[in-house]
Amino acid sequence: MDTTVDPRPLLERAAGQFAALVSATEPRQLNDATPCPGFDVRALIGHALGNTLAYAYIIEGGTIADEPGDVKDVPGGDWTAAYTAAGDRLVAASRVLTDGALDHVVDLGFAKMPMRAALGAITMELAAHTWDLREALGASPELAPEVADFSLTYARETLPPERRGAPVPFEPVRPAPEGADAYGRLAAWLGRDVRQGTAGT
């Protein structure tokens, strides 16, 4: 990835956007299917919540042993409060990193990489799951194109077409329909079936 890019502002936007969609999710929608294979809305939010907490732990100096995995349940079923708190924790941890700390190597369990790249990875994941949740809800919120543009560039650099299948948890690249926004193009690169006319701008 471009080592001149500071991913922290983009991560903040990505976490905020995902939190806003979680807030817009109605209880009756939690069992609805999403474009992310194997995840209904509840499981998708729980997966993003677990990974958001995991990256917060790592940025704070923890290890992969601290990772909670996918979250199945939250107190009172309040997914909005749970994800908002996790996103705020992740963003707060990233804000106190020094510029030099962005180049320190961290162990994510599946790979070791500079903190800058790790922040790029969670930004990309949140951008992709923002698309998943947007589509599942049939919503059309205003999303920051710079988050998706950064994430798509990151995905193309780190997840080329030949790097698919176990242990990489993504399907083969699919074509994005003409007119798809940057989030749709990111989703297609990560193996989602992006259909013409889906929600979004």
pLDDT for 172 equals 87
**pTM over 0.75, yes/no:** yes
Residue 108 has φ and ψ, to the nearest 5°, of -95, 5
pLDDT for 68 equals 82
Average pLDDT, the chain: 91
pLDDT for 201 equals 27
27-64 confidence digits (pLDDT tens): 999 999 999 988 999 999 999 999 999 999 999 998 87
Plot region of 118 (φ>0 → left; ψ -120 to 50 → alpha; else → beta): alpha
